[in-house]
Amino acid sequence: EAQVTQNPRYLITVTGKKLTVTCSQNMNHEYMSWYRQDPGLGLRQIYYSMNVEVTDKGDVPEGYKVSRKEKRNFPLILESPSPNQTSLYFCASSFREMNTEAFFGQGTRLTVV
Amino acid sequence: AQKITQTQPGMFVQEKEAVTLDCTYDTSDPSYGLFWYKQPSSGEMIFLIYQGSYDQQNATEGRYSLNFQKARKSANLVISASQLGDSAMYFCASRGNSNTGKLIFGQGTTLQVKP
C-alpha cells in the first residue's frame, strides 16, 4: 500500500529536550516536506527536500532541522523544543510534476510544556 | 508569492443537499495546480480533487466537483448530496511551478452536515 508513515502520532515533551519525528514514504517520491498546522493559519511549510541530500527552508524553519540521507526518509528534528512549537505536524511527499497530489502522513500532535 | 483565501471559517449543510466551499487564489506563476484536501476529526489529510490551470474542463471526482473560474481566480469545491461523513475541515491549496513541491494552503473551512 502506498503510504507516508509518520511516528509518533502523539508526543508530549518538555522544553529543551531534543526530539525527532520520523517520516518514511514507499512511493519513490522525489519531493518531501514538513508542514505544521495551527488554528486559523492552515498548513505552513517548515522544510522541504527535492531529493537525497538536497534540503531547504520553507516558510517557518526556525527551531527545526531536517536531513535526507535516503530517498524514502525525511526526519524532522527539534534540537531544543519550545512551547511555541506545540502544533500538529505533517510530513508529505509527491512526485516532481506539478499536477501530482501530495500524500500526507497521519500527523504528529506535539505538545511542548 | 502565492496566496490562498478561504473566507468561510464554518458552514452548515443539510444532509443530501449540495454545498459550495469557496476558495480564491493569487499567484504570479503562469501555470499552477489547485487541490482540495479533506481533514476529518481523526486528523489525516485526504486528497479530494485536482484542477490544472490549463485544464479546459472543471474537474470532477464522484460527488466532488471543482468550479474553476480562472478570470476570477476562484476554485470552489462543490459537494453534491452531502453525507454525514462529509463533516470535516476542507483545505484549498495551490502548487506552482517552483522546484520545491510546496503547497500553499488556505485557512480551511469547517463543514458540518446536519441530519
Q: Read off the pLDDT band of A98 (50, 70, 90).
A: confident
Measured between beta carbons, the chain A residues lying within 8 angstroms of B96 are: 98
pLDDT at residue A96 above 90?
no
CB B50 within 8 A of CB B37: no
Q: DSSP 3-state assignment of A55?
A: strand
The pLDDT of A85-112, averaged and rounded, is 94
- Residue B35's pLDDT is 96
Which pLDDT tens digit goes with each residue over B22-31? 999 998 888 8
Widest pairwise Cα distance in chain B: 44
Distance from C-alpha of B47 to C-alpha of B93, rounded to nearest angstrom: 11
Which residue numbers of B have CB closer than 8 Å to A's CBs? 4, 31-33, 35, 37, 43-45, 47, 50, 52, 91, 93, 95-97, 99-103, 105-108
- Residue B115's pLDDT is 95
Candidates B4, B103, B108; nearest CB to A102:
B103
CB A4 within 8 A of CB A105: yes
Angle of CA points A25, A29, A35, to nearest 5°: 65
Whether residues B102 and A92 touch (CB distance < 8 A) is answered with no
Candidates B32, B45, B95; nearest CB to A104:
B45
| CA nearest to B49, candidates B40, B60, B41 | B60
CB A79 within 8 A of CB A86: no
CA distance A14 to chain B (A): 23
Q: How many CB pairs under 8 A join A and B?
A: 70
- Nearest Cα residue in chain A from B101: A31
What element of type H or E holds B97? none
Length of chain B: 115
The DSSP secondary structure of B41-83, one letter per residue, reads TT---EEEEEEETT-SS--EETTEEEEEETTTTEEEEEE-S--
pLDDT at residue A5 above 90?
yes
Grid cell digits, residue B76: 470552489
- Identify the residue among A29, A30, A38, A43 best suited for mutation to test binding to B, counting B beta carbons within 10 A and taking the highest: A43
Q: What type of residue sits at position A56?
A: D
Q: DSSP 3-state assignment of B27?
A: coil
Which pLDDT tens digit goes with each residue over B66-91? 999 999 999 999 999 999 999 999 99
Distance from C-alpha of A62 to C-alpha of B69, rounded to nearest angstrom: 37
Distance from C-alpha of A24 to C-alpha of A3, rounded to nearest angstrom: 8
Distance from C-alpha of B22 to C-alpha of B44, rounded to nearest angstrom: 21
pLDDT at residue B2 above 90?
no
Whether residues A104 and B95 touch (CB distance < 8 A) is answered with no
pLDDT at residue B99 above 70?
no
Neighbours of B56 (CB within 10 A): 6
Distance from C-alpha of B29 to C-alpha of B15, rounded to nearest angstrom: 38
The pLDDT of A35-39, averaged and rounded, is 95
Grid cell digits, residue A33: 516536506
